[in-house]
Amino acid sequence: MAGMTPLTATRPEFLDLFPRGAELTRLAGDFTWAEGPTYVPSRRAVIFSDVRQNRTWRWTDKGVLEEELHPSHHQNGHTLDAQGRLVACSHGLRALLRQEAGGTWTVLADHFEDRKLNSPNDVALHPDGSLWFTDPTYGIDKPEEGYGGEREQPGNFVYRLAPDGQLTAPIRDRQMPNGLAFQTPDLLLLADTGKGDGHIHAYRLTPGGEATHERIWATVRPGKTDGLRVDQAGRVWSSAGDGVHVLSPDGEELGRVQVPETVANLCFGGPDGSSLFMTASRSLYRIETRVRGLEF
Ligand code: MG
The mean pLDDT values, 10 residues at a time, for the chain of 296 residues are: 75 96 95 97 97 98 98 98 97 98 96 98 98 98 94 98 98 98 98 95 98 97 94 98 97 97 97 97 97 92
Say how far residue 141 (Cα) sits from the centre of its chain.
20
Going from the Cα of 107 to the center of ligand 1, the distance in angstroms, rounded, reads 20
Under 8 Å between Cβ of 234 and 207? no
* 207 C-alpha to ligand 1 centroid (Å): 26
Q: In which element (H, E) is residue 279 found?
A: strand 275-280
pLDDT at residue 277, as a whole number? 98
DSSP tag of 139: H
**Beta carbons of 282 and 261 less than 8 angstroms apart:** yes
| Residue partners of 134: CB distance under 8 A and separation at least 6 | 77, 120, 121, 122, 123, 156, 158, 159, 177, 178, 179, 180, 190
User: How far, in Å, is the centroid of ligand 1 from the Cα of 189?
Assistant: 13
CA distances (Å), origin 85, targets 40, 42, 126, 185, 269: 8, 9, 14, 21, 15
CA triple 163-267-143, angle to 5 deg:
80
Q: How far is the CA of 176 from the centre of ligand 1 (A)?
A: 10
Cα of 269 from ligand 1 centre, angstroms: 18
Measured in Å, residue 20 CA sits from the centre of ligand 1 at 31
Q: Kindly give the distance from the C-alpha atom of residue 2 to the centroid of ligand 1, in angstroms, as a whole number.
A: 28
- The answer to whether 122 touches 97, Cβ cutoff 8 Å, is no
pLDDT of residue 295: 87
Q: How far is ligand 1, taken at its centre, from the CA of residue 43, in Å?
A: 23
Q: Are 287 and 18 in contact (CB under 8 A)?
A: yes
d(CA 23, CA 133): 33
Pair 190, 176: CB distance under 8 Å: no
| Per-residue confidence (pLDDT) for residue 4, from 0 to 100 | 62
* Rounded distance from Cα 88 to ligand 1 centre (Å): 12
Ligand 1: centre distance to CA 89 (Å)? 10
CA of 122 to the centre of ligand 1 (A): 5
Residue 131 backbone zone (phi > 0: left; psi -120 to 50: alpha; other: beta)? beta
Instruction: Kindly give the distance from the C-alpha atom of residue 266 to the centroid of ligand 1, in angstroms, as a whole number.
Output: 10
The C-alpha atoms of residue 281 and residue 279 are separated, in whole angstroms, by 6
- The three-class DSSP label of residue 258 is strand
Give which of 96, 103, 105 is closest to 131, Cα–Cα: 96
Q: Is the pTM of this model over 0.85?
A: yes
Helices of type H across the chain: 138-141
Q: How far is the CA of 134 from the centre of ligand 1 (A)?
A: 9
Residue 224 has a pLDDT of 86
CA–centroid distance, residue 132 to ligand 1 (Å): 13
Q: How far apart are CA 225 and CA 190, in angstroms?
A: 9
Instruction: Please check whether residue 192 is in contact with residue 178, taking contact to mean a CB–CB distance below 8 angstroms.
Output: yes
**Å from CA of 261 to ligand 1 middle:** 16
Q: How far is the CA of 111 from the centre of ligand 1 (A)?
A: 20
CA of 192 relative to ligand 1 center, distance in Å? 10
